[in-house]
Amino acid sequence: MASFHLPLRSSMAALPVVLCVLSCFLPELAFAKTRHYTFNIRYQNVTRLCHTVKVLTVNRRLPGPPLVAREGDRVLIKVINHVAENVTIHWHGVRQLRTGWADGPAYVTQCPIQTGQAYTYNFTLKGQRGTLLWHAHISWLRATIHGPIIILPRRNESYPFEKPHREAPIVFGEWFNVDPESVIQQALQTGGGPNVSDAYTINGLPGLLYNCSSNDTFKLKVKPGKTYLLRLINAALNDELFFSIANHSLTVVDADASYVKPFQTDVVLLSPGQTSNVLLKTNPNFTNATFFMAARPYATGQGTFDNSTTVGILHYGHSSIPIPATGIASLIPKLPAINDTNFVFNFSRKLRSLANAKFPAKVPQTVDRKFFLTVGLGTAPCPNNATCQGPNGTKFAASINNVSFALPSTALLQAYFSRRANGVYRTDLPARPIFPFNYTGTPPNNTFVSNSTSLVVLPFNASVEVVLQGTSILGAESHPLHLHGFNFYIVGEGFGNFDPNKDPANFNLVDPVERNTAGVPTGGWVAFRFFADNPGVWFMHCHLDVHTSWGLRMAWIVLDGPKPNQKLPPPPADLPKC
Ligand SMILES: *[C@@H]1O[C@H](CO)[C@@H](O)[C@H](O)[C@H]1NC(C)=O
Ligand SMILES: *[C@@H]1O[C@H](CO)[C@@H](O)[C@H](O)[C@H]1NC(C)=O
Ligand SMILES: *[C@@H]1O[C@H](CO)[C@@H](O)[C@H](O)[C@H]1NC(C)=O
Ligand SMILES: *[C@@H]1O[C@H](CO)[C@@H](O)[C@H](O)[C@H]1NC(C)=O
Ligand SMILES: *[C@@H]1O[C@H](CO)[C@@H](O)[C@H](O)[C@H]1NC(C)=O
Ligand SMILES: *[C@@H]1O[C@H](CO)[C@@H](O)[C@H](O)[C@H]1NC(C)=O
Ligand SMILES: *[C@@H]1O[C@H](CO)[C@@H](O)[C@H](O)[C@H]1NC(C)=O
Ligand SMILES: *[C@@H]1O[C@H](CO)[C@@H](O)[C@H](O)[C@H]1NC(C)=O
Ligand SMILES: *[C@@H]1O[C@H](CO)[C@@H](O)[C@H](O)[C@H]1NC(C)=O
Ligand SMILES: *[C@@H]1O[C@H](CO)[C@@H](O)[C@H](O)[C@H]1NC(C)=O
Ligand SMILES: *[C@@H]1O[C@H](CO)[C@@H](O)[C@H](O)[C@H]1NC(C)=O
Ligand SMILES: *[C@@H]1O[C@H](CO)[C@@H](O)[C@H](O)[C@H]1NC(C)=O
Ligand SMILES: [Cu+2]
């Protein structure tokens, strides 16, 4: 097992005696570890809501096994494909500094791992601590191939908040009574919207509000008067979720593996791809008691959605108290209305970086490259002789600056690295809409999108500002946009059309939250900034999988810098081929 030295932290250098006590007698304290995992992708018959569905799982678990490591550790995950489907895994939110070959989106950074093949993802966790998630990144396989990434502080460091008594991952998912792959295949064929899920889940369990699910309820056993760290992960395919625990408030301390200024709230909102650490203080007066936790969607689109509620149980006491058989509705925590956009906007504004000496917010103060990108739905023509079930007989599509991104049949990163862009991709995605319109007003009468593999090139270390403008074409809707390979700072957001003359004056360049997934408010815009300090090809897409499937996706090429440690190394030998 390989190990390597960690650079000494400068604050420790002032304490040579302490450092020697720690590192001279317990050598592992001074070393980052290499963590080895094997992920076997297999079929498994899983039964929920009295429906047995053959799905893909990792190591026969749903959700899959957690990756646990400390900041600074190297992680090696050998993924072995035992199924007929092509598979890739993405380590969502991991910076992948100069390890773009390990990022995982199919046909972006790698060709898929085919039947019988294996690929070892190899990366280091740098400058991040908290919770992230891993998930399949091809078609809709992430419905059942996902799990937590738990990044603990370095061995000699502690949390910048009260040490929790215990920690527990809380993974939200979506369950379909049929194979999720058949759902998206059918939707892409007909051009209509996909069928919605049959249940939401907490750690794989729908909970007792659903038919035939009374035994499939997640239970968290707690002791009175203690602090618990809950690692919340929204791994649902297509739905933003509110979460709350009856009679308890939560303290948010971390978002997307970046610490935030702690704040209390009864309800948390998580978009798909977002993660958050929250502290739960249990009541010292409760000994024998049960409380419900619940999650259900925040929904703004015009389409149908799964309007159901998943519950779990917070359980005080050693013996099992029977769950009340009646009056359950009154015990479920109050959640905001399905469409409570005000709550979501206010919640999002409470998230602020710690921005202190130890965890500074390195917000770009000036900008080299500005992008104004519209995100939203549109339509594509129905192929000849077909009948389509999208709007007015068209097919649903989605786009960025009216370009619906077509995935190539080989991986973009390989094409870029080997200088074979021709016929694979172009670098012509417009930096602003070619035909400006009132993005949140009456939509234009032509809703057709164009279709190409159009990328944007960024010089190494450029300071980048992106304004994502939601459109109201086919209805305004919030879109959680996820950027691979970077965290960005969310410097502003608002409703209506972004005003380049007025809105930047209100940008927060001091302590904005640092994330990898940002919600574009429904009928509004969000602005973020980042330094393009990571060479490679980086996907950016809506994390509602249905919108990604319809083309709400793009990729950035970040060029190498001049120094050797600013260049993307060559691909590993076992990188899959197309
Ligand atoms: C799943 O169930 C089907 C039908 O009973 C069976 O044929 C198949 O072998 C099972 N698959 C697995 C992986 O257990
Ligand atoms: C992982 O990557 C590091 C850095 O490139 C390299 O030194 C190491 O050999 C790799 N490990 C494996 C098992 O490929
Ligand atoms: C739940 O478990 C009990 C005890 O094992 C069993 O009797 C009951 O049928 C189960 N209920 C469901 C809905 O599976
Ligand atoms: C616990 O009970 C005491 C006495 O009734 C009360 O003063 C206190 O507020 C309670 N604590 C909490 C956290 O509810
Ligand atoms: C909790 O409930 C169990 C079982 O009903 C009982 O034996 C125990 O005495 C109760 N404890 C308290 C502190 O009420
Ligand atoms: C969602 O379900 C709740 C009841 O659980 C109902 O009150 C509400 O009207 C539903 N909303 C929509 C948009 O279907
Ligand atoms: C939310 O939905 C309710 C009930 O359908 C509706 O009356 C209300 O206008 C909606 N609010 C917003 C902000 O869309
Ligand atoms: C569909 O057609 C109707 C009538 O021609 C029109 O009013 C509507 O805007 C069209 N919708 C879309 C999405 O094109
Ligand atoms: C874009 O083009 C590809 C390849 O021709 C096709 O499969 C896809 O359906 C098109 N998408 C849209 C939104 O037109
Ligand atoms: C866009 O349209 C909306 C709704 O009609 C209107 O309220 C708003 O003022 C318009 N915005 C601009 C910038 O024209
Ligand atoms: C489409 O919109 C343009 C500009 O608003 C308008 O001139 C034209 O008449 C519209 N066409 C239809 C078919 O509504
Ligand atoms: C798997 O990926 C390869 C390479 O892109 C492709 O040729 C093949 O058709 C795919 N197989 C399946 C089952 O999707
Ligand atoms: Cu979207």
CATH of residue 445: 2.60.40.420
Indicate the number of domains in the chain.
Answer: 1
Residue nearest atom 9 of ligand 5, based on CA coordinates: 288
State which of 288, 318, 320 you would mutate to test the pocket of ligand 5, scoring each by most atoms of that ligand within 8 A of its C-beta: 288
- What is the band of 18 on the pLDDT scale with cuts at 50, 70, 90? very low
CA distance linking residue 306 with residue 308, whole number of Å: 6
DSSP for residue 288: S
pLDDT tens, position by position, 220-259 = 999 999 999 999 999 999 999 999 999 999 999 999 999 9
Greatest alpha-carbon span in the chain: 79
- Tell me whether residue 157 is in a domain: no
The full length of the chain comes to 578
CA 285 to centroid of ligand 4, rounded, Å:
6
- Tell me whether residue 503 is in a domain: yes
Residue 485 is which amino acid? G
pLDDT tens, position by position, 268-309 = 999 999 999 999 999 999 988 889 999 999 999 888 999 999
> What's the CA angle centered on 516, arms 179 and 77, to 5 degrees?
60
Contact 463, 404 (CB under 8 A): no
**What is residue 321's predicted lDDT score, i.e. its pLDDT?**
66
- Tell me whether residue 52 is in a domain: no
β-pair type (455-458, 553-558): parallel
Residue 158 is which amino acid? S
Residue nearest atom 7 of ligand 7, based on CA coordinates: 339
CA 334 to centroid of ligand 6, rounded, Å:
14
CA 45 to centroid of ligand 1, rounded, Å:
6
| Residue numbers of the domain that contains 476 | 369-566
Task: Assess whether the C-beta atom of 249 lies below 6 angstroms from ligand 4.
Answer: no
> What's the CA angle centered on 116, arms 110 and 122, to 5 degrees?
40
pLDDT tens, position by position, 471-511 = 999 999 999 999 999 999 999 999 999 999 999 999 999 99
Radius of gyration of the chain (CA): 23
- Tell me whether residue 215 is in a domain: no
Task: Assess whether the C-beta atom of 285 lies below 6 angstroms from ligand 3.
Answer: no
Residue 21 predicted with pLDDT over 70: no
CA distance linking residue 523 with residue 376, whole number of Å: 10
Task: Assess whether the C-beta atom of 495 lies below 6 angstroms from ligand 7.
Answer: no
- Tell me whether residue 468 is in a domain: yes
CA distance linking residue 72 with residue 122, whole number of Å: 13
Residue nearest atom 1 of ligand 8, based on CA coordinates: 392
Shortest-distance atom of ligand 7 to CA 337: 1
**What is residue 20's predicted lDDT score, i.e. its pLDDT?**
39
Shortest-distance atom of ligand 1 to CA 42: 13
Burial label for 114, CB within 10 Å (0-12, 13-18, 19+), is middle
pLDDT tens, position by position, 504-521 = 999 999 999 999 999 999
Reading the block at residue 270, the tokens are: 């998580």
- Tell me whether residue 450 is in a domain: yes
**What is residue 320's predicted lDDT score, i.e. its pLDDT?**
64
- What is the band of 319 on the pLDDT scale with cuts at 50, 70, 90? low
- Tell me whether residue 249 is in a domain: no
- Tell me whether residue 216 is in a domain: no
pLDDT tens, position by position, 410-463 = 999 999 999 999 999 999 999 999 999 999 999 998 999 999 999 999 999 999
Residue 367 predicted with pLDDT over 50: yes
Residue 364 CB partners (closer than 8 Å, separation 6+): 463, 464, 465, 489, 529, 530, 531
What is the arithmetic mean of pLDDT over 123-147? 98
Residue 15 predicted with pLDDT over 50: no
What is the tally of helices (H) and strands (E) in the chain? 6, 34
